[in-house]
Chains A and B, each alone.
Chain A
Amino acid sequence: MNDIFIDVDYSQIYKHDQKIGGDVFLLSRNPDNNQIVCTLSDGLGSGVKANVLASLTAHMAHKLSFSPINLTHSAKIIMNTLPVCKERKISYSTFTIADIRFPSRDDIEVQLVEYDNPQALHFAGAEPLEWSRNLIDLQREGAFKKEILSQSQFRLAVGDRLVMFTDGVTQSGLGRSLPLGWRLDGARRFIKGQIEANANVSSRDLSRAIVRKAYALDGLVSQDDITCVVVYVRRPRRAVIVTGPPFTQEKDEVLGEKLKAFEGRKIISGGTTAQIVSRLFGKRIKVDMHSWSPDVPPCSTMDGVDLVTEGMLTLSKVATVLEKKIPTSELPDDAVRRFVDILLDSDQVHFIVGTKINEAHQDPSIPVEIGIRRTIIGRIRTALEQNYLKETSLEYL
């Protein structure tokens, strides 16, 4: 598993009365070569025409940044390809491309290409950083104005953020609440304040806060499409699920060591497993007699572990909840809800599955499903990966 997690998200509000955006954001992650490409494009004008321009631009920029073609050349290709507006004889759309590569965990490099969008901002924690940009004059034939492309590269460390937006953000409030609009300075100050108030704010929440603020400056009647993208590099939030006693008793110690050494939240699922850990850690299991529902046994607490639950019944219910994407707010306050809450609050989930056959379950009166720990864990993993885009891993003991 990766030791860094790159949290990318964006928010958008369309120009007032428009049903389609002239700002287009594209994101792709290529896990094989550790690359993330974000493209934000703003088409001239608004509505459908702008959307077509921006989509074309974003898609081309995107494709090109995965190819070996140099960026300046790519930019020219894009400009030459865009359809030309009949009346104004211009084809125009602005863009920002951030090509993020991370060959190793301490080395995250950003290639940033900006064309006519407001400048992107880089924050280390809450501190805005400056960096130098190379300006490239495209000198394209038939260009209707001087076209300057800005290109730069820099590194992102853990705790850093890259914030990109369209001019709907920087020009918000223009001529209304603010004579000159919010401008880059205003946005920068706002973002700094947001991060200071909540150092771990997610990309989703931060981008949303910025867009909402711009919308408010516009007096809740957006003057343009307002779009903001945030890239946030952080340590992944992790959880480990330990379920089932190890195949042989000698492995119990190994289980205890692994659980102790794990950095992140810890769940033990299964009575026997809990007893093994309780014995190894010398900690008492205390059953919480209130947190149960008719098909989910009560959960328990143990020092050093975040949640202790019963095994099979709870796990299979957890699998169903994740598969059906049932929001936890609709669940009773039982072990399943607490279990799912921890899973959804993590980026990476590791399963340690003990392979000893549990004698108790050989009773024919218990549903067949219960015997199949592996199948249930498989269902949980698939649901986490496909429905919630989590990273999961598994080891047998």
Chain B
Amino acid sequence: MNKKKKVEVKICVGTACFVQGGADLLLYNDFLDPEVLSGCEIEGSSCLDSCKNAKAEVADVDSKPPFVSINGKIYGSVNQDRFCKLLEEAVNA
């Protein structure tokens, strides 16, 4: 194993995100590649504040919940597939 710094991931578990698909992301243990998983430090956030202001610095064209923050960058409309891809990229970066 390399000593690379882990990718910091925050899944929003606030109301808006949770009901619009955030709940699916919480199953990350089941759908993420274990190797990717081991390269990430996954936490929850009670609200990433992106649901409140549309003009938040979301690194994404489509800024709708559920939101996830990866190494401080916020992504919207994250579903399981997208979550896998984003994390894979981040881990291999």
**Which residues of A pack against B, CB within 8 Å?**
271-272, 274-275, 285-289, 292, 294, 297-298, 300, 308, 310-313, 359-361, 363, 365-367, 370
Structural contact, B43 and A287, CB atoms closer than 8 A: yes
> What chain B residues lie within 8 Å of A274 (beta carbons)?
46
Structural contact, B47 and A297, CB atoms closer than 8 A: no
Structural contact, A300 and B51, CB atoms closer than 8 A: no
Structural contact, A310 and B51, CB atoms closer than 8 A: no
Structural contact, A298 and B26, CB atoms closer than 8 A: yes
| B39 on interface, CB distance cutoff 8 Å | no
Binds A, one of B8-16, B30-38, B74-82, B84-92: B8-16
Interfacial residues of chain B within 14-56, with CB under 8 A of chain A in the complex? 14-16, 18-20, 22-23, 26, 42-47, 51-53
> What chain A residues lie within 8 Å of B65 (beta carbons)?
360, 363
Q: A294–B52 Cα gap in the complex (Å)?
A: 23
B63 to chain A, nearest CB (A): 12
Partner of B47, one of A271, A286, A294, A370: A271
A359 with B52: in contact, given A287-B43, A289-B42, A310-B18 (CB under 8 Å)?
A: yes
B1 to chain A, nearest CB (A): 23
A367 to chain B, nearest CB (A): 8
Partner of A366, one of B19, B23, B45: B19
> What chain A residues lie within 8 Å of B53 (beta carbons)?
359
A272 with B47: in contact, given A289-B26, A292-B13 (CB under 8 Å)?
A: yes
Structural contact, B46 and A363, CB atoms closer than 8 A: no
> What chain B residues lie within 8 Å of A313 (beta carbons)?
15, 18-19
Nearest-neighbor residue (CB-CB) of B26 within chain A: A292
Residue contacts A-B, CB under 8 angstroms, 15 given:
A274-B46, A287-B43, A287-B46, A294-B23, A298-B26, A308-B46, A310-B13, A310-B18, A360-B15, A360-B52, A361-B15, A363-B20, A366-B19, A366-B20, A370-B15
Structural contact, A271 and B43, CB atoms closer than 8 A: no
A129 to chain B, nearest CB (A): 52
> What chain B residues lie within 8 Å of A370 (beta carbons)?
15
> What chain A residues lie within 8 Å of B47 (beta carbons)?
271-272, 275, 360
> What chain B residues lie within 8 Å of A365 (beta carbons)?
20
> What chain B residues lie within 8 Å of A367 (beta carbons)?
19
Nearest-neighbor residue (CB-CB) of A292 within chain B: B26
> What chain B residues lie within 8 Å of A288 (beta carbons)?
44
> What chain B residues lie within 8 Å of A285 (beta carbons)?
46
A255 to chain B, nearest CB (A): 16
Q: A276–B47 Cα gap in the complex (Å)?
A: 11
> What chain A residues lie within 8 Å of B14 (beta carbons)?
271-272, 297, 310, 360
> What chain B residues lie within 8 Å of A310 (beta carbons)?
13-15, 18, 46
Q: A367–B15 Cα gap in the complex (Å)?
A: 11
Structural contact, A297 and B42, CB atoms closer than 8 A: no
Partner of A297, one of B18, B51, B52: B18
Structural contact, A363 and B16, CB atoms closer than 8 A: yes
B20 to chain A, nearest CB (A): 7
A218 to chain B, nearest CB (A): 56
Q: A205–B47 Cα gap in the complex (Å)?
A: 43
Q: A286–B19 Cα gap in the complex (Å)?
A: 20
A332 to chain B, nearest CB (A): 14
Q: A298–B18 Cα gap in the complex (Å)?
A: 10
Q: A365–B20 Cα gap in the complex (Å)?
A: 8
Structural contact, B45 and A287, CB atoms closer than 8 A: yes
Q: A18–B19 Cα gap in the complex (Å)?
A: 56
Q: A300-B46, A361-B15 are in contact. List 15 more A-B contacts (CB 8 A).
A: A275-B46, A286-B43, A287-B45, A292-B13, A292-B23, A294-B23, A297-B14, A297-B22, A308-B46, A310-B15, A360-B51, A363-B16, A363-B20, A365-B20, A370-B15
Structural contact, A289 and B15, CB atoms closer than 8 A: no
> What chain B residues lie within 8 Å of A297 (beta carbons)?
13-15, 18, 22-23
Structural contact, B44 and A311, CB atoms closer than 8 A: no
Nearest-neighbor residue (CB-CB) of B13 within chain A: A297
Q: A294–B65 Cα gap in the complex (Å)?
A: 17
A376 to chain B, nearest CB (A): 12
> What chain B residues lie within 8 Å of A289 (beta carbons)?
26, 42-44
Q: A164–B44 Cα gap in the complex (Å)?
A: 54
B27 to chain A, nearest CB (A): 10
> What chain B residues lie within 8 Å of A292 (beta carbons)?
13, 23, 26
B24 to chain A, nearest CB (A): 9
